[in-house]
Copies of this chain bind each other. A is one copy, B any other.
Amino acid sequence: MDLRTPYLVFVGDAKDALAAKTGQGVVDWRGEAVVGQLRLPRCRADLGVADMTIRQAVEAGAKTFLIGVVNPGGVLPTRWQGVIVEALEAGLDIASGLHESLEGIPAIVEAARRSDRRLIEARRPAEPYPVATGRKRTGKRLLTVGTDCSVGKKYAALAIERELIARNIAADFRATGQTGILIAGSGIPIDAVVADFAAGAAETLSPDNDPDHWDVVEGQGSLFHPSFAGVSLALLHGTQPDAFVVCHEPTRTTMRNVDAPIASIEAVVEQTIALGRLTNPAVRCVGIALNTSDLDAERANQTVEQAQCQFGVPACDPVRHGVEVIVDEMLS
C-alpha cells in the first residue's frame, strides 16, 4: 500500500468524536500530511483542522480522500457514495479502513476507472504472505503489547518512533491495524491475514535492517484476550522483539466485549517473555505505557509512580508525559 499525500480527511456525519477516531489519529500523528477535513451537515466531530470542500482541497494539493470515520460494522453508508464519486472525479485517490470493500460498490468502481484513480483498502491484506521461518533478522525491534484491546498500543508505538527520530535514531513505526496503516501510509492488517500466515506477515513487516535501526511495531489484542490471543502470539513470534512495552488502561476492570477480567501487567510481562523467548531469547520489558486519560493529573502521576516501583521499569502516559523514560531504557 502506498498512499499519496497530503490527505483530505472525510469525517462524514460522525455522531461523536469517537466515531472520528481514525481521522483523529491521522491528524494527531501525521498532521503534516493533512490539508483539511470535509464534514457533512449534522457532523458532530471536529478534528481541529480547516474545513474544506473537495475543490478547495485539490487546490491545496490534496492527493487522497481518506475516510476518517468509523461506524459499527464498518459499513459504507449509501449517502456517502456521492461525495466519494465526486472526490474521484476531482482527481483524488480514496483510502478506507472500513470492513466493507470499496470494490463492492459499482458507482465507486466505475468512477475510479473513469478518472484513473485508486481505491486503497487498509483492511485488505496484500496476500500471499509466506509461512514464518523464525529466522533471526538483523536490526532491532520493539513491540507494544497489552493487558487488553484498545489500551493505547498504537499511540505508544507512534510516540516511541517520534522520540527515536527526535534523537536521530533510525526508526520506523510498523502499522498492524487499519488506523495505524492510514496514519503511516503502509503496514499489514495482521488480524485480516489467514491464520497460517499471520506470523509470516509479521516477519515481512519488520525485515532485516541496519544493526542500529529500530522497527517499532504496533501490537494487537492481548495474549490474555480469549478472542485474539492467537493473533497477539503470531505477532509476537513474527516480530521477534528485542524489547516490549506493556500498555494498560488503569481504570478498566474487564476485557472489552468478553466476560473476562482484564489481565494484570505482571502476567503480561511474564507471559510475553515466556513466549517471546522462542524467537528472541533476549526479549525484555523496557516500560509500562499507561493510558490515564480517565484520571486527573494527580491520580495519573500516582499510578505511573506505583507501576514504576512495582515493575522496576520506566512507566509513563505517552500522551501526558511523553516516552523519554521508555526510550532511555530501550537504548540502555
Contacts and interface: CB of A to CB of B under 8 A. Distances in A.
Interface string A184-198: 000000111111101
Contacts of A195: 190-195, 198, 230-231, 234
Contacts of A259: 133-135
Interface in A208-259: 223-224, 226-235, 237, 257-259
Contacts of A235: 230
A132 interface: yes
A313 interface: no
Given A191-B196, A196-B192, A132 B237 contact: no
A18 interface: no
A259 B135 CA distance: 7
A226 B134 CA distance: 5
A131 interface: yes
A283 to B, nearest CB: 13
Interface string A31-74: 00000000000000000000000000000000000000000000
A4 to B, nearest CB: 28
A199 interface: yes
Nearest to A125: B194
Contacts of A227: 131-134, 196, 199-200
A199 B229 contact: yes
A279 interface: yes
Nearest to A132: B227
Given A134-B260, A237-B230, A194 B194 contact: yes
Nearest to A190: B195
Contacts of A169: none
A107 interface: no
Interface in A122-154: 131-135
Candidate in A232, A234, A259 with the most chain B CB atoms within 10 angstroms: A234
A170 interface: no
Contacts of A200: 227
A282 interface: no
Contact of A196 (B131, B231, B233): B231
Contacts of A257: 131
B228 A196 contact: yes
A2 to B, nearest CB: 23
Contacts of A192: 194-196
A273 to B, nearest CB: 13
A278 interface: yes
Contacts of A135: 258-259
10 contacts: A131-B228, A132-B227, A190-B195, A194-B194, A195-B198, A195-B234, A199-B228, A229-B275, A230-B232, A230-B234
Interface of A: 131-135, 190-196, 198-200, 223-224, 226-235, 237, 257-260, 271, 274-275, 278-279
What 3 A-B pairs come out closest when comparing CB atoms? A230-B234, A134-B226, A191-B196
Given A226-B237, A230-B234, 5 more contacts: A134-B226, A135-B259, A191-B196, A194-B195, A233-B233
